[in-house]
Amino acid sequence: MKAKVAERGQVTIPKRIRGHLGIHKGTVLDFREEKGRIVAMETEASHPVAACYGSLSRGRRTDQLVDELRTHADGCSFDDASCVFSSYGKSI
């Protein structure tokens, strides 16, 4: 099978090969040169949520943060999330 390199360096992987290897939209491939050939291997794509993991850390464990939120929520109704966050110093 042959494929032509497009102007911007893109190549379409033939459908039969994509199907056989399970390559679909969103599959991340890692390319390298090996003995004059291009080798593409599927890599572990990081989940979008995993990329954000820990980015909101406040320097405390989750259970400590939940305890603080519960303490600050005294007097707030269950349905009033804005009360919980505003009493914690955050507005929503």
pTM of the model: 0.45
3 near 14, Cβ under 8 Å?
A: yes
Shared domain for 33 and 61, answered yes or no, is: no
**Residue 61 belongs to a domain:** yes
Is residue 51 one of the residues assigned to a domain?
Answer: no
Domain total in the chain: 2
C-alpha 33 chain-centroid distance: 28
**92 is a domain residue:** no
The predicted pLDDT at position 35 comes to 95
> The domain containing residue 65 runs over which residues?
56-87
Does residue 50 lie in a domain region? no
Same domain, 1 and 40: yes
User: Tens of pLDDT along 22-65?
Assistant: 898 888 899 999 999 999 998 876 666 666 666 666 677 777 77
Per-residue model confidence (pLDDT) at position 91: 47
Residue 60, domain member (yes or no): yes
Question: Do both 1 and 33 map to the same domain?
Answer: yes
| 8: CATH | 2.10.260.10
> Concatenated DSSP letters for 51-82?
HHTTTT--SS-HHHHHHHHHHHTTT--TT-HH
